[in-house]
């Protein structure tokens, strides 16, 4: 697990002074989020023990339940597809939340995301092989270059809304300040695809046979020279790495008592790291040169064809590695009674 670069989202003053201490961090609940939560069906309850996955997409992005229980070390992972249409926002809404207080920092329950697919680009097919020369005495065809390499993808997480009406903390060590982690760090930039290799050079064909007046001579024409192989195709340049994705905006909402408890949640939403460039592809393999023609009756000499090398450096250049980190997401903690949404 990566080390936490967490932001303690509340302060002790929030517990003592209530709403006034967190007004500077407030953020109004958008009307489209309100409408989506209001329209969503209310589930009976969810227990987060171990790892529990929830699919989130551009048509299902509100999780709304009567109760939500976090056991020690439980992880609620929202699965998103970085290559599909992105949901406008993600909502985790619960009327009653029960958090089992952790025994240590390694036991803290977590709400986070999980990618269903990678943002790394996929290597394309190799170039098409050159054809063998036609008939006797034909040079091989050149191998083709492969398609250009794809670039890595950047995925910016949608904003995340955590709406808890009532929060109860159960047991555990009361001296541990951290109750729940919400981690929506930016998705690392996708790696550029490795460049595909060029096509194999085509084979040269055998030289023509000697032409003889009879089985024992005389020689009318000497044997033909073998023909050269085709040039291997060049490899493709590696694809560029993508910029790191932005961290998600994390917005907490709840009545004053819930907001005071949320002051002991931690949030991580820094930007994602840049993606690296793909390796360059290499030239295709050499074709076979054609052999010399037959010398049954002629003493004239001929030889095989030559191996044609790659016309470019053996390995293409790598893709560029991005230097741009994703931006950190915003954060807010807003008192609001949520009873109208359940």
User: For residue range 133-180, what is the model confidence (pLDDT) as tens digits?
Assistant: 876 667 888 889 899 999 999 999 999 999 999 999 998 666 678 899
> Residues 57-63: what's their mean pLDDT?
92
Q: Which helix (H) or strand (E) holds 12?
A: helix 12-17
Examine the pLDDT at 3 and tell me if it is beyond 70.
no
Tokens matching residue 254 = 């709840």
Q: Which residues lie across from 243 on neighbouring strands?
A: none
- Position 52 scores a pLDDT of 96
Question: What whole-number percentage of the chain has pLDDT above 70?
Answer: 89
Lowest-pLDDT range of 3-12, 92-101, 227-236, 285-294: 3-12
Quick one: 218 exposed, middle or buried, by C-beta within 10 A (0-12, 13-18, 19+)?
exposed
> Residues 92-104: what's their mean pLDDT?
94
Examine the pLDDT at 220 and tell me if it is beyond 90.
no
> Residues 306-333: what's their mean pLDDT?
93
Asked if residues 335 and 255 have their Cβ atoms less than 8 Å apart, the reply is: yes
Between CA 73 and CA 263 the distance in angstroms is 19
Between CA 15 and CA 21 the distance in angstroms is 8
Examine the pLDDT at 293 and tell me if it is beyond 90.
no
- Position 155 scores a pLDDT of 97
- Position 167 scores a pLDDT of 96
Examine the pLDDT at 12 and tell me if it is beyond 90.
no
Examine the pLDDT at 29 and tell me if it is beyond 70.
yes
Q: Looking at the chain, which runs of residues are DSSP E strands?
A: 7-8, 46-48, 51-55, 62-70, 75-80, 90-100, 109-115, 160-170, 180-183, 211-212, 219-221, 250-254, 265-268, 331-335
Question: Confidence class of residue 24 from pLDDT cuts 50, 70 and 90?
Answer: very low
- Position 195 scores a pLDDT of 95
Question: Confidence class of residue 9 from pLDDT cuts 50, 70 and 90?
Answer: very low
Between CA 202 and CA 286 the distance in angstroms is 8
Q: Is 92 helix (H, G, I), strand (E, B) or coil?
A: strand
Question: Confidence class of residue 7 from pLDDT cuts 50, 70 and 90?
Answer: very low
Which residues lie below 8 Å from residue 244, measured CB to CB, with a gap of 6+? Answer: 154, 186, 187, 188, 189, 271, 272, 273, 274, 275, 322, 324, 325, 326
- Position 8 scores a pLDDT of 40
- Position 172 scores a pLDDT of 66
Examine the pLDDT at 224 and tell me if it is beyond 90.
no
Question: Confidence class of residue 276 from pLDDT cuts 50, 70 and 90?
Answer: very high
- Position 189 scores a pLDDT of 97
Examine the pLDDT at 128 and tell me if it is beyond 50.
yes
- Position 137 scores a pLDDT of 63
> Residues 112-116: what's their mean pLDDT?
96
């Amino acid at each position: 697990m990566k080390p936490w670069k967490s932001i303690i989202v509340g302060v002790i003053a929030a517990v003592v002074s209530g709403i006034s201490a967190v007004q500077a961090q407030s953020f109004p609940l958008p009307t489209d989020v309100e409408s989506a939560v209001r329209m969503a069906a209310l589930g009976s309850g969810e227990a987060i023990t171990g790892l529990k996955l929830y699919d989130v997409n551009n048509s299902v992005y509100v999780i709304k339940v009567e109760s939500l229980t976090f056991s020690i070390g439980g992880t609620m992972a929202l699965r998103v597809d970085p290559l599909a249409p992105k949901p406008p926002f993600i909502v985790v809404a619960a009327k009653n939340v029960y958090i089992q207080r952790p025994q240590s920092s390694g036991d803290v329950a977590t709400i986070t995301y999980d990618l269903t697919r990678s943002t790394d680009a996929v290597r394309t097919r190799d170039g098409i092989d050159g054809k063998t020369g036609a008939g006797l005495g034909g040079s091989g065809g050149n191998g083709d270059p492969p398609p250009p390499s794809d670039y890595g993808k950047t995925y910016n997480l949608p904003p995340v809304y955590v709406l808890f009406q009532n929060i109860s903390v159960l047991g555990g060590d009361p001296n541990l300040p951290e109750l729940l982690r919400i981690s929506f760090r930016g998705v690392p930039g996708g790696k550029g695809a490795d460049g595909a290799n060029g096509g194999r050079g085509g084979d040269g064909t055998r030289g023509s046979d000697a032409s003889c007046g009879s089985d024992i001579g005389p020689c009318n024409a000497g044997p033909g020279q073998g023909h050269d192989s085709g040039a291997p195709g060049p490899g493709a340049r590696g694809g560029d790495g993508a910029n790191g994705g932005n961290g998600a905006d994390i917005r907490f909402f709840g009545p004053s008592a819930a907001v005071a408890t949320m002051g002991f949640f931690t949030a991580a939403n820094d930007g994602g790291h840049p993606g690296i460039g793909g390796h360059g592809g290499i030239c295709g393999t050499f074709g076979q040169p054609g052999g010399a023609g037959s010398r049954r009756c002629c003493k004239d000499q001929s030889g095989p064809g030559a191996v044609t090398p790659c016309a470019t450096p053996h390995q293409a250049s790598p893709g560029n590695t991005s230097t741009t980190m994703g931006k950190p997401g915003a954060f807010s903690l807003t008192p609001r009674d949520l009873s109208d949404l359940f």
